[in-house]
Amino acid sequence: MNSGKYVFAQIGTFLPARIFDKWVSKHEGNKCVKHFSCWNQLMCMMFGQLSGRESLRDLLITVSAHSNKYYHLSFGKNVSRSNLATANELRDYSIYESFAYEMIAIARGCLIDEADFPLLLSGNVYAFDSTTIDLCLNVFWWASFRKAKGAIKIHTLYDVKTSIPAFVHITKGNVHDVKALDVLTYEADGFYIMDKAYVDFKRLFTINLSKAYFVIRAKENFNFKRISSKKPDKINGIICEQIVKLKGLKSSAYYPDTLRRIKYFDKEQQRTFVFLTNNFSQPAVDIALLYKYRWKVELFFKWIKQHLKIKTFWGTSMNAVKTQVYIAIITYTWIAIIKNKLKIKRSTYEILQIVSASLFDKTHLNDLLQSPVYKNVKEQKCEQLEIELI
């Protein structure tokens, strides 16, 4: 990494520019563009994500104060509110969606060897869930959700082993969560962990036919008949373990095969859970432990909402919103790649905080992030005069 580069400019060296150009050419992103290219747009938007800008005006005010650095920051010749807003509104979000998946593949490839996962499974483990981002219906008129409220949903397939989102699908707020299962491609021997909102036996049978496994909570009105039972392992919280078949007319037609029903008592939460799975070989305790990892996707949603800009948007069209969300995913995967390639021991949050405060420094990124983390620092004793209260 060359000395004298701004920290933000060094970020670009970790982004595969040739791969990005491939997707720009495929979607004709730079057609009829004079100077503000898709790469310039990407870098401006990533700058906004890393620096925590609240609005398009906030981003432009900050960027315009450093107009003499545009070339070195890969912003192009000029950045104005009109050209950035127009790019977000009109340039196909698919460019950034496709590039996000390229970054996801690189990040998952880097982190797969370092995955700290206690269970020995042949396939990957995914947690699938969605989060809702509330929007003003008067401004985002297309984001229908409720009668007087707008929203979008970000459906995410989260790779539990690498802590990287493997698939991100953005829909209007009124789209039911279970419909997002139709756009997934299932891996053989992969485990898909879901909450009971995704109980749809026709779609679950599709997972079964794909030779993949699901672990899902059963609904309270689950109608079944017992085929056989195993001796419960109450020491480890397994109250009962059964092989069952569905009894309902429609549900039994949608899922004609047998299921495994596990009733588990969680001592920490003092709650009882009932799980359904099509995996019959893994121990029941492991199935219960797998479901606990579903909370990783909830933590991911919480993290990106707190530390990246996906709750306030810099454009009002669906294309602008999707562009911003996928660039946020690119930023998240960039941090994960940096952490792995530079062997940084800091947390993702610490890396983001340091980089956001040092975007215009000319320190080597490696030196900036490899500084020792001081813990339990004790203050030196110093003599101080006591204040006498009168």
Query: Within 10 A of 331 (CB to CB), how many other CB atoms are there?
Result: 24
Q: Give the per-residue pLDDT at 111.
A: 76
Pick the last residue of a domain from 258, 280, 302. 280
Q: Assess whether 19 and 87 both reside in one domain.
A: yes
CA–CA separation, 138 vs 148, rounded Å?
A: 9
Contact 272, 258 (CB under 8 A): no
Pick the last residue of a domain from 253, 280, 307. 280
Q: Assess whether 325 and 257 both reside in one domain.
A: no
Of the pLDDT bands very low, low, confident and very high (cuts 50, 70, 90), residue 96 is very high
At residue 155, φ and ψ (nearest 5 deg) are: -85, 125
159 domain-assigned: no
334 domain-assigned: yes
CA–CA separation, 338 vs 202, rounded Å?
A: 41
Of the pLDDT bands very low, low, confident and very high (cuts 50, 70, 90), residue 115 is low
Query: Within 10 A of 155 (CB to CB), how many other CB atoms are there?
Result: 20
382 domain-assigned: no
Q: Assess whether 11 and 83 both reside in one domain.
A: yes
Of the pLDDT bands very low, low, confident and very high (cuts 50, 70, 90), residue 369 is confident
Q: Give the per-residue pLDDT at 348.
A: 84
CA–CA separation, 307 vs 69, rounded Å?
A: 26
For the segment 322-352, what is each residue's pLDDT rounded down to a tens digit? Answer: 999 999 999 999 998 988 888 888 888 888 8
* Residues spanned by the domain of 70: 7-94+316-369
Q: Assess whether 347 and 270 both reside in one domain.
A: no
Residue range 192-220: mean pLDDT, rounded: 95
Q: What is the CATH number of the domain that holds 243?
A: 2.20.25
Query: Within 10 A of 120 (CB to CB), how many other CB atoms are there?
Result: 7
Residue range 214-238: mean pLDDT, rounded: 91
Q: Give the per-residue pLDDT at 113.
A: 55
For the segment 294-315, what is each residue's pLDDT rounded down to a tens digit? Answer: 999 999 999 999 999 999 999 9
143 domain-assigned: no
- Residue 117 is encoded by which pair of tokens? 């996962």
Of the pLDDT bands very low, low, confident and very high (cuts 50, 70, 90), residue 375 is low
148 domain-assigned: no
323 domain-assigned: yes
Cα 340 to chain center, whole Å? 18
Contact 314, 308 (CB under 8 A): no
CA–CA separation, 74 vs 53, rounded Å?
A: 18
222 domain-assigned: yes
CA distances from 344 to 163, 355, 369, 373 (A): 16, 13, 7, 11
CA–CA separation, 133 vs 153, rounded Å?
A: 6
Q: Assess whether 86 and 27 both reside in one domain.
A: yes
Query: What is the number of structural domains in the chain?
Result: 2
Pick the last residue of a domain from 256, 280, 304. 280
Cα 281 to chain center, whole Å? 30
For the segment 128-181, what is each residue's pLDDT rounded down to a tens digit? Answer: 999 999 999 999 999 999 888 999 999 999 999 888 999 999 999 999 999 999
291 domain-assigned: no
- Residue 143 is encoded by which pair of tokens? 């984001």
